[in-house]
Amino acid sequence: MKTKVAIIGSGNIGTDLMIKIIRLSESLEMSVFVGIDPESDGLARAVRLGITTCHTGVDGLIEMPEWKDIKIIFDATSAKAHIYNWEKIKQFPDKKIIDLTPAAVGPYLVPPVNFLDNMDIPNVNMVTCGGQATIPIVAAVNRIAKVQYGEIVASIASKSAGPGTRANIDEFTETTSEAIEKVGGAERGKAIIILNPAEPPLVMRDTVFTLSEQGDRDKIRASIHAMVAEVQKYVPGYELHQEVQFDDIPESDPVFIEGLGMRYGLKTSVLLKVVGAGHYLPEYAGNLDIMTSAARATAERMLLIKD
């Protein structure tokens, strides 16, 4: 028997997640799709798919008869809206919320890195698209050689950045930087996002730089490849764009890192690309695809562990 879920947020991310659950999930069942604009394309699409909808936000959802059977709620709204939604939902101890906004009310969760540490938490945060794509790589290096500094650059097609993404740029960089440290294991993290206006739109590309203690390069490379394979289990379009690169930063010629001072060690460079599955959004919108895929994988793993 499938577990009933609701999605709050009828924009691109919420709509793509809804379609993924309908098409792909063997354990999740769409119960209610929630928005605040009755004319939104997402709500109209849900109606065409036979899904119950609500256009009065979380307050309307809680008043619906379906609410009592819903166990997991995905929040695909905005950082500010999530604060309000959580205040309402946390009054119901039988519900769990998976937060796809940068609000970070609950702990950061990246499925292949720290799922087991957070599987019983009632509110988990999916960091950001850049975080979901790059933090696994930082963690993969860190499990072999202690990472002192992790820097990620996420380049996404401008057309794939909706109003929610654009309104939360500051939260993106702050949330991702913090998660590089808390989840990835780096002493210091930094995140940069680029909205690429190229036409035709380019797929999501991510660059990860780490400065770590010296370590076995073959083991680091193998750890990265193993982590990529883990992410590919729920994001098939996630892959290395080229082979892992290494550079020595000698003690005689250290680099300055803000907040850490002069450091030396092993620099590892990893280039990634993420091609979307094309369920609702174009393939170039891999940044949205990795968020919705990670959220779905998180919910399904919660049920698998529970069973």
User: Per-domain residue ranges for the chain?
Assistant: 3-126+289-306, 129-284
**Structure-token pair, residue 200:** 């035709």
Q: Return the residue matching tokens 């010629």.
A: 253
What pLDDT does 14 receive? 96
The Cα-based distances of 240 to 30, 177, 221 in angstroms read 33, 22, 11
* Separation between Cα atoms, residue 109 and residue 126, nearest integer Å: 5
Residue 129 falls in the annotated catalytic set:
yes
Q: How confident is the model at residue 204 (pLDDT cuts 50, 70, 90)?
A: very high
Q: Return the residue matching tokens 């210091």.
A: 188
11-37: burial string, b at 16+ Cβ within 10 Å, e else: bbbbbbbbbbbbeebebbebbbbbbbe
* Fold exhibited by the domain 129-284: Dihydrodipicolinate Reductase; domain 2 (3.30.360)
pLDDT at 21 over 90: yes
pLDDT at 300 over 60: yes
What pLDDT does 229 receive? 98
Between 170 and 68, the higher pLDDT residue:
68
Choose among 173, 126, 179: nearest CA to 9: 126
* Separation between Cα atoms, residue 105 and residue 200, nearest integer Å: 36
pLDDT at 165 over 90: no
* Separation between Cα atoms, residue 173 and residue 184, nearest integer Å: 15
Cβ neighbours for 240, distance < 8 A, ≥ 6 positions apart: 224, 225, 228, 270, 271, 272
pLDDT at 164 over 80: no
Cβ neighbours for 30, distance < 8 A, ≥ 6 positions apart: 4, 5, 7, 18, 21, 22, 51
Report, as an integer, the average pLDDT of 130-149.
Answer: 98
pLDDT at 148 over 80: yes
What pLDDT does 193 receive? 95
Cβ neighbours for 223, distance < 8 A, ≥ 6 positions apart: 140, 141, 143, 144
Calculate ∠ Cα 40-42-45, nearest 5°. Answer: 110
3-state class (DSSP) for residue 84 = helix
Report, as an integer, the average pLDDT of 256-281.
Answer: 96
Percent of the chain topping pLDDT 70 = 99
pLDDT tens for each residue of 28-87 = 999 999 999 999 999 999 999 999 999 999 999 999 999 999 999 999 998 899 999 999
Choose among 163, 202, 166: nearest CA to 283: 202
Percent of the chain topping pLDDT 90 = 91
Burial group, residue 271, by CB count within 10 angstroms (0-12, 13-18, 19+): middle
Between 172 and 73, the higher pLDDT residue:
73
**3-126+289-306: which CATH number, 3.40.50.10420, 3.30.450.20, 3.40.50.720, 1.10.287.3510?**
3.40.50.720
pLDDT at 306 over 70: no
Average pLDDT, the chain: 95
The catalytically annotated residue of 21, 32, 129, 285 is 129
pLDDT at 5 over 80: yes
What pLDDT does 307 receive? 56
Cβ neighbours for 76, distance < 8 A, ≥ 6 positions apart: 7, 8, 9, 11, 13, 14, 17, 100, 101, 292
- Max Cα distance, the chain (Å): 68
* Separation between Cα atoms, residue 237 and residue 273, nearest integer Å: 8
| Topology alike, domains 3-126+289-306 and 129-284 | no
**Long-range CB pairs of 42-48, under 8 A, 24+ apart, other chains included:** 42/10, 42/11, 42/12, 42/14, 42/15, 42/18, 43/10, 45/15, 45/18, 45/280, 46/10, 46/15, 46/18
